[in-house]
Structure 1
Amino acid sequence: MRGFDTIVMVDWSSGNDTGPRPRKDAIWAAVNRNGAAEAPVYLRNRLMAEEWLTALFDQERAAGRRVLAGFDFPFGYPKGFAAALTGSADPLTVWDWFEARVEDTPKHNNRFDLAGQVNLALGGGKGPFWFNGLQRDINGLARRKDEYSNPFPDKRQSEQRTKGAFTCWQMGGAGAVGGQVFTGLPILARLRRKYDAAVWPFMALDKDIALVEIWPSLTVGPAPDDQIKDAWQVQEVARQIAALPEDRLAEMLTVDAPEEGWIFGLGYEAELKAPVLQNDCFALPPGVHWTPVDEALALLQGRLAPVCGVETLPLGQAAGRLLAEDVEAQRANPPLPNTAVDGYGFAGGRGAGAHDLPLVKGRAAAGDAPVVVPSDHAIRVLTGAALPEGVDTVILQEDVKVDADRLLFTGPIKQGANTRKAGEDVDAGEVLLHAGRRLTPADLALGAATGNDHISVRKHLRVGVLSTGDELVDPGTPAKDGQIYDANRPMLLSLIAQFGHAPVDLGRVQDDRSALRDVLDQAVPQADVILTSGGASAGDEDHVSALLQEAGAMDLWRIAVKPGRPLALGMWQGKPVFGLPGNPVAALVCALIFARPALEVLAGGHWRAPQAFNVPAAFTKSKKAGRREYLRARMKDGAAEVFGSEGSGRISGLSWAEGLVELPEPAMQVAPGDPVRFIPYASFGL
C-alpha cells in the first residue's frame, strides 16, 4: 500500500458559530503536504468545516495524493452501545444513525434532545448520557450526574490508558466529548460515503482517503505564548505524522479494536513527541565566520533534539541503550525490613549485663515468609531474611551462646542493630533512572531489584558513513599512482559502533555531484544521520557542501580548531548531515569533539563532554594564537608525550596515541612539567 502524501488534522468543537475572528475553543485544521507544513486554518462553524474538508479532499484526490485526515473525538463507543442502539455491533452503523437524526446549524443543534431520547430508550432516562447544557429541562437528560446510571462501561479501553481522558457520555461542560461525537460523526458519515473513505481502525486503509481518530493532547505539549493552543496542536500533530517513515506509520496504524475504535499514537507518545530538526538548525548567527570551539559546541547542543523512535525491551536486553522515559521503582528495595548479618533476632535493645531469651523453633532465612516471634523471645536469622513480626534487632552469632533452646549474650546492644529498614535503599515510586541515560549493567541490577522487567528505550541511532573523493579506493583493491586507500570509512564506522549507535556503510562515491546526490537520496531511508568525509570545504570538487547548499539547508562552519577547520553541517531531506574533513587525523578529531556529543543528543541521550585531566607535559611546544589545537598524545611515566608530527595525514599517530592533549586558543609556550589538559580516548567511549 502506498503511503500518505497529505496529512490533515482537525480539532473539533460542538459549540455554536464563533464569529469571524480566530479564537480558541473553535474548529481548527492544519495541512502538511509532502512534508511541507501549511498555516493552521480557522473554521468558525461545522458547516464551514465540512465545506473546507470537501474542497480539500476534492483537490487532493484530483492531484493523485493520498490523505490521512485526523479528528480529535471518539470514532466508537464503549462495547455494547452500538448493538443496543442500532441492533448491530458495527460502529459505523452508529455513524449512520447519528447522521440520520442530528439536526445541526451554525447556531443550533439538537444533541441534548437526542441524548435524552437515547437515555429513555436504553437506560430508563438515567443514562448513559448526562449533562443538559440548555436552560430548559430535557426529558431523560439530567443537568448533572446525579442519580446517573450507565448500562455500559464509562470509558473505552483506549481511554482507560489515556491520562486525563473525558468520558464520551458527557454532553456539555468542560471536556464535553459527547457533544463532539454527536456533531462530528454525521459529517464524517457523509464524507465517508462521498469519498468511499476508509475509517481507522474498522477498515483496511486501502482507500485514497483515511479517517483516523487522533487526540493532539496525547503528543503535543503547551503552545508558544503567542499562539492559540488548538491552532498550534493541529499543526504539530500533522508535522509529527508527516515526519514518520512509511513503515513506522503503518506499524502504528496496526491495531485490533473492532468495535470501540482506538486513539492513534497511544503507546507511541514518546516517539511522536520527538522534535524534528528544521532545515535552518545549523545556520550560524549573522556575521559569524570563524567559530571558537566552545561556541560551536554550544550552538550544536542548543539546536539538536532526539530523532530516534522508542521501543520496549526486556530489562536484560537493554544494556548500553538510551532510556526514553524515566524508570521508577515498582517496589521498595529492600521490600521489607531485613537482617544484615547472620545471628539472632528479637524485639528492642538490651542494656549492659547478661541476657537470657528463649529461642522459638525454626529460623528466618532469605526468601522465607515472615513468622511471628513472641515478646521476649528470639529466633535464628540469616543474612537477607525478612525480619519476622516481633523482631527489630539482630545480634551477631559470634556474640552469643546457645544452650539448648535458650539464647545467652552480654549487652549492651541498640534497638535496630544489624538490620535494614524497608526502602532504605529505594522507596517504591522513586525515580531511579532519568530519560536520556545510557544504561549500564549496574542500572539493570537496580531496575531488576525494584521490580522492573521491561524498559522503554530509544531505538538505535542509524549513522550512515560515506567517503567521497576520486582518489579513494577500497582496501584490497589495486591502487594506481595518485590513489589512496579509504582509511576514514572503516575508522568512522567502528567509532559509531563504539559510541553505541548503529553504523550504516554507505560506501564511497567519486567527485561527481549527480552520483553523490543519488547516494544521499538512497541513504535517507537507511540512516537517521549521515557522516561524510571529504568534500566539506568550498572548492570546486567539494560536492558535499555544494549539494547541501543547493538544498537550502547547509552552513559551512569554519571552526577555530586544528586539525580540522571546515565542518559542513546541513540537512538532506530531513536528515542531518555532518561533513567531516577528508584528512584522517582531522576527521577523527572532528568526529570526537563535535560529532560524538551531537550524535548522543540525536539518539535521545544527554550532551556529554569528555572527561579530561590536568597532567604534566613531557614535550615542548610553541603555540600560536587563534585556534584550539588537539595533539595526539599518550601517557608515559605520569606525563603526556605527543606524537612527533602534527600532520593531518600521519595516520600512524592515531594508532600510537592514547588520547588528545587540548591546548586553548591563546598563544602559549609549553615546557616539560607544565600542566596540560589530557583527554583519554576512553573518555570518548573508545
Structure 2
Amino acid sequence: MSGFDTFVVVDWSARASPSPRKPSKDAIWIGVARGGAVTCHYHRTRTAAMAALEALFDAELAAGRRVVAGFDFPFAYPAGFARAVTGTDDPLALWPVLAEMVEDDAENANNRFEVARHLNGLFGGIGPFWGCPETVSDAVLPAKGTLRHGHGLPEHRGVEKQPGLGRAQPCWKLYTSGSVGSQALLGLPRLQALRERYGDQLAVAPFEASGKPLVLVELFPSLIADLIAKLAEPEEINDRAQVRILAGALAQLAPPVLQAMLEKGDPVEGWILGVGDEQALRDAALGRTVPPPLRNDCFALPAGVHWTPVQEALALLRDSLICVVATQSLPLDQALGCIAADDVMAKRANPPLPNTAVDGYGFAGVRGTGVHEMPLVAARAAAGDAPGVVPAGHAIRVLTGAALPQGVDTVILQEDVVVEAGAIRFSGPVKAGANTRRAGEDVAAGDQVLAKGRRITAPDLALLAATGSAKVSVHMPLKVGILSTGNELVEAGQTAKDGQIYDANRPMLQGLIRQFGHTPVDLGRAPDDRAALRGFLDTGAAQVDAIITSGGASAGDEDHMSALLSEAGAMTLWRIAIKPGRPLALGMWQGVPVFGLPGNPVAALVCTLVFARPALAQLAGAQWPESQGFDVPAGFSKNKKPGRREYLRARIRAGQVEVFASEGSGRISGLSWAEGLVELPEEATVIAPGDLVRYIPYGSFGIASG
C-alpha cells in the first residue's frame, strides 16, 4: 500500500458532563493534517466527537484517501487482563465485551465506575482498577491505589516501561489527573463502534496488518511534551497544541518510517506509536523533511472566472501555495537573511538574573528621607561575577550589568554617595528596586522570540543569542530559475540586428529575485521553438524550486510557453484586471511551479512585484508579505477609466508624488526613474493635483531604489 493522505490525532476526555462551551483544556480536541495544512476542532461530548470523526472518515474514504487516526489512551491492558475477562489474550476480543458493559450517553453521563467495580470482581484481592469519588468507593473499587492488593496483574504494560515513558499513568487509574483508565474504558467501546462501522476497511495497529484505508493507532502526546511546549502558539491550550503538532508531525513522516512504526509492538499489550522512534517524531514535528509537492491543479481558477481582480488573484495564490523547500539547522552566524522554519522560544530569560542598570552601591529595601549610613562589604559585584550574598543592613559596590547579589534589590548611583571609612552615606528617599532590571523583564524563558516564516535580521540574531539559541531551523534558500523567451532577444553587449532587441528582463528579474532574498538561477534565453523551449524547462525543473519566464505567456501563434504548459495539463491563463500586465500564465512543469510573465519589461516588473514576490515568499516558507503603501498628495492629473487596477511609475518630490511623463509600457527608462508605484483602484477615478493617492515605495516590495 502507498502512504497515508490524512492524519488525525484525538485528545480524548473522560468527563462525566459536557465540556465548557468556550474551548478549554480537558475536553476533546481533534487535529487533522492533510495537504500541508493542519486544522483543530473542539468537541464538548464524546458523542459529538465520534459523529465528527465518522463524517471525516466517510468523506476521506469516499475520496479514496487513506487515513491514520491516533488516540491518546491505551488500546490494550497489561498481560493477563484480557484472558481473565474474555478467555483469550487477544486485546481486540476485549473491545466488544467492554462495549456491551459501558453506558455513555450523549451528555457524557456514564457508568465507568460500575464497570470497573464489576471487572475488579473477576480478580482476587482488591483491584486492579482504582480511583473514584469517596462517595462511590467501596471495598471492591478503592479511591486510592495504595489500598489495592492481591489482584495479580502488572501495574504497567511493557511499552510504558520504555525510556521516556516514566510519566505514563497506569491504565487502572480512573480518577483525577492522568486518569487514562477512564479514558480507555470510555474510549475502547467507541473504537469498537468504528470497527463495526468500517469492517474490513479498518485495521488496529499493531494487532492487525496496517494495509487498510483506515488505521487506528495509540499515541502518547507527552512523548515529545517539551517540544510541544516550545512549538505551542502563545496562550494556546495545551491539548490543542498537542493534536495540532502531532498531526502535523505524522504528516511529515516519510511513508517508510511511519510504516515501520505501525508494525512495531507487542501482540498482547500493544504499543504507543513513536516509542523508540522519538527522534524521528521530533524531526517530523520540526518539519525536517521535504514538504509535499504542490498539486498539479494548484493554479486552477474557479469555474466561470474570466477577468480576475487583483485582490482575488492574490487571495487565490495565497490559498493554493505551500512551502516547497526543505529545512536545515544553522548556527546564528550563518542564518542572516534565512527564513525561520519554526517558531523559536527563548531558552533563557533576558536578563537571566536581576542586575544593576548603573554603577553604584546596592542594598536592600526602601530608604526614606534624611541621611543614611551603611557599612560596605569588602567585595564588589561586576558584570560576569557569580552573585554573592550581602548581609542585611550592608551595602556593596556594584558595576553596570552585574547580577544583584542575594540581599540586594536596590541600587543608588555612585554620584549620589559619599564613601568614608568603609561605609557609604547618602540622602533619601530611595525607592526599592531603583536602578535595577528584573530577571526576564525583556524576555521570559519560554517566550516566543522568533515567528515561523520570518526572514531573519541582524537584530533577530542578537535576540536569539541573548536568549540562549546557538542554532536556528531555517528553510533552504528558494532557487528561482529565470528564463527569457523570444527570437527577437539578444544578449546585452552582442550585436543586435534589425528587428532584435537586448534582453532587459533577465538581468532585471535576476536582480529582483536576489533582492527578494532568493537564489536566482540563469536558465538562459529560449527561442520561439516549442521543442527547444521544452528542453529549457526540463533542464530548469531539475535545478530549481520555481521558474519565472518572460514572453510567450499569452495565446498567440508564438506563445509557446502557454502552449507547453497547456499540453502538460497544468496551465491556467489568468486574465487579471491590471494595467500594465493582464495575461499571467501559471502552471506546473514536472512538479515545479512556473510563473509566465508578459514580455514587456514594465509589465514584467509590475507583475513580479505584485504577484510573483508574495507567491515566491510563500513557496520559500516565509509569511505572505503585504506591500505597505501610504496616502500622498498627487502632483499630477489623471482621468482613469473603470475596469482595471493601474500601477503608475512614481516618486516623491517636495511632499507630492509625481508620475513618469509617459504611461507607455515600452518606456523602460521610467522603471529606473521611479522610486515606487502609485496604485489606482479598479473604479473610475478623476485625480487632480493635491488629491490623495496611494503610493507604494519600491522598498515596501523588498527592493531598493536609486
1:641 pairs, out of 658, 663, 677, with: 658
**Alignment check: 8 A CA contact 1:9 1:237 kept:** no
Show the counterpart of 1:427. 444
**Alignment check: 8 A CA contact 2:340 2:475 kept:** yes
1:440 matches 2:465: no
CA distance in 2 between partners of 1:273 and 1:347 (Å): 56
CA distance in 1 between partners of 2:513 and 2:164 (Å): 39
The alpha-carbon distance between structure 1 residues 329 and 536, as it changes in their structure 2 partners (threshold 3 A), is same
Letter in 1 for 2:432: Q
1:405 pairs, out of 422, 443, 447, with: 422
CA distance in 1 between partners of 2:219 and 2:697 (Å): 49
Show the counterpart of 1:568. 585
* Aligned-partner SS, 2:424: strand
CA distance in 1 between partners of 2:218 and 2:612 (Å): 36
Letter in 1 for 2:308: T
Show the counterpart of 1:457. 474
The alpha-carbon distance between structure 1 residues 660 and 451, as it changes in their structure 2 partners (threshold 3 A), is same
Deviation track 1:484-503 (CA, whole Å, cap 9, x = no partner) reads 22111111111111111122
1:277 matches 2:294: yes
Show the counterpart of 1:663. 680
2:621 pairs, out of 585, 592, 604, with: 604
Q: How does 1:296-375 map to 2 (within 5 A)?
A: 296-375=313-392
CA distance in 1 between partners of 2:383 and 2:538 (Å): 60
2:64 pairs, out of 35, 39, 44, with: 39
More displaced stretch, 417-426 vs 626-635: 626-635
Letter in 2 for 1:595: A
1:267 pairs, out of 283, 295, 310, with: 283
2:545 pairs, out of 519, 525, 528, with: 528
- Could you tell me how far 1:623 is from its partner in structure 2? 2.3
**Alignment check: 8 A CA contact 2:290 2:326 kept:** no
CA distance in 1 between partners of 2:412 and 2:624 (Å): 49
- Could you tell me how far 1:564 is from its partner in structure 2? 0.7
The alpha-carbon distance between structure 1 residues 149 and 265, as it changes in their structure 2 partners (threshold 3 A), is closer
2:506 pairs, out of 461, 478, 489, with: 489
- Could you tell me how far 1:628 is from its partner in structure 2? 1.6
1:676 pairs, out of 673, 690, 693, with: 693
**Alignment check: 8 A CA contact 1:31 1:238 kept:** no
The alpha-carbon distance between structure 1 residues 158 and 323, as it changes in their structure 2 partners (threshold 3 A), is farther
The alpha-carbon distance between structure 1 residues 662 and 251, as it changes in their structure 2 partners (threshold 3 A), is farther
Letter in 2 for 1:613: F
CA distance in 1 between partners of 2:163 and 2:598 (Å): 54
- Could you tell me how far 1:517 is from its partner in structure 2? 2.3
- Could you tell me how far 1:558 is from its partner in structure 2? 1.3
Q: Which runs of 5+ in 2 are unaligned?
A: 9-50, 72-82, 93-115, 131-144, 169-180, 189-202, 212-216, 228-244, 266-274
Letter in 2 for 1:489: R
1:589 matches 2:606: yes
- Could you tell me how far 1:151 is from its partner in structure 2? 12
CA distance in 2 between partners of 1:620 and 1:402 (Å): 74
CA distance in 2 between partners of 1:585 and 1:542 (Å): 19
- Could you tell me how far 1:406 is from its partner in structure 2? 1.0
- Could you tell me how far 1:315 is from its partner in structure 2? 2.2
* Aligned-partner SS, 1:268: helix
CA distance in 2 between partners of 1:384 and 1:524 (Å): 54
TM-score by length of 2: 0.66
- Could you tell me how far 1:270 is from its partner in structure 2? 4.4
The alpha-carbon distance between structure 1 residues 672 and 187, as it changes in their structure 2 partners (threshold 3 A), is closer
- Could you tell me how far 1:429 is from its partner in structure 2? 1.0
The alpha-carbon distance between structure 1 residues 504 and 238, as it changes in their structure 2 partners (threshold 3 A), is farther
Show the counterpart of 2:113. none
TM-score by length of 1: 0.68
CA distance in 2 between partners of 1:421 and 1:323 (Å): 29
Deviation track 1:607-647 (CA, whole Å, cap 9, x = no partner) reads 21112122222333332222222111222222222222222
CA distance in 1 between partners of 2:607 and 2:461 (Å): 33
CA distance in 1 between partners of 2:529 and 2:509 (Å): 22
Deviation track 1:256-303 (CA, whole Å, cap 9, x = no partner) reads xxx997475651334359564323322222222112222222222222
Letter in 2 for 1:587: A
CA distance in 1 between partners of 2:482 and 2:88 (Å): 60
Q: Which runs of 5+ in 1 are unaligned?
A: 13-21, 43-69, 74-102, 114-130, 163-169, 177-181, 192-212, 220-232
* Aligned-partner SS, 1:290: coil
Q: How does 1:286-301 map to 2 (within 5 A)?
A: 286-301=303-318
- Could you tell me how far 1:392 is from its partner in structure 2? 1.0
CA distance in 2 between partners of 1:364 and 1:23 (Å): 62
- Could you tell me how far 1:368 is from its partner in structure 2? 0.7
The alpha-carbon distance between structure 1 residues 504 and 647, as it changes in their structure 2 partners (threshold 3 A), is same
Q: How does 1:193-212 map to 2 (within 5 A)?
A: none
The alpha-carbon distance between structure 1 residues 284 and 676, as it changes in their structure 2 partners (threshold 3 A), is same
The alpha-carbon distance between structure 1 residues 534 and 420, as it changes in their structure 2 partners (threshold 3 A), is same
The alpha-carbon distance between structure 1 residues 565 and 10, as it changes in their structure 2 partners (threshold 3 A), is closer
CA distance in 2 between partners of 1:637 and 1:10 (Å): 58
- Could you tell me how far 1:363 is from its partner in structure 2? 0.8
**Alignment check: 8 A CA contact 1:558 1:566 kept:** yes
Deviation track 1:406-453 (CA, whole Å, cap 9, x = no partner) reads 101111111111111111111111122221111111111111111111
Show the counterpart of 1:685. 702
Deviation track 1:443-480 (CA, whole Å, cap 9, x = no partner) reads 11111111111111222122122111121222343332
The alpha-carbon distance between structure 1 residues 563 and 24, as it changes in their structure 2 partners (threshold 3 A), is closer
* Aligned-partner SS, 1:508: strand
The alpha-carbon distance between structure 1 residues 392 and 240, as it changes in their structure 2 partners (threshold 3 A), is closer
CA distance in 2 between partners of 1:10 and 1:571 (Å): 24
**Alignment check: 8 A CA contact 1:111 1:183 kept:** no
CA distance in 1 between partners of 2:654 and 2:6 (Å): 69
The alpha-carbon distance between structure 1 residues 184 and 383, as it changes in their structure 2 partners (threshold 3 A), is closer
Letter in 2 for 1:326: D
Letter in 2 for 1:579: G
Show the counterpart of 1:92. none
1:477 matches 2:511: no
Report % sequence identity. Answer: 57
Deviation track 1:578-599 (CA, whole Å, cap 9, x = no partner) reads 1111011110010001111111
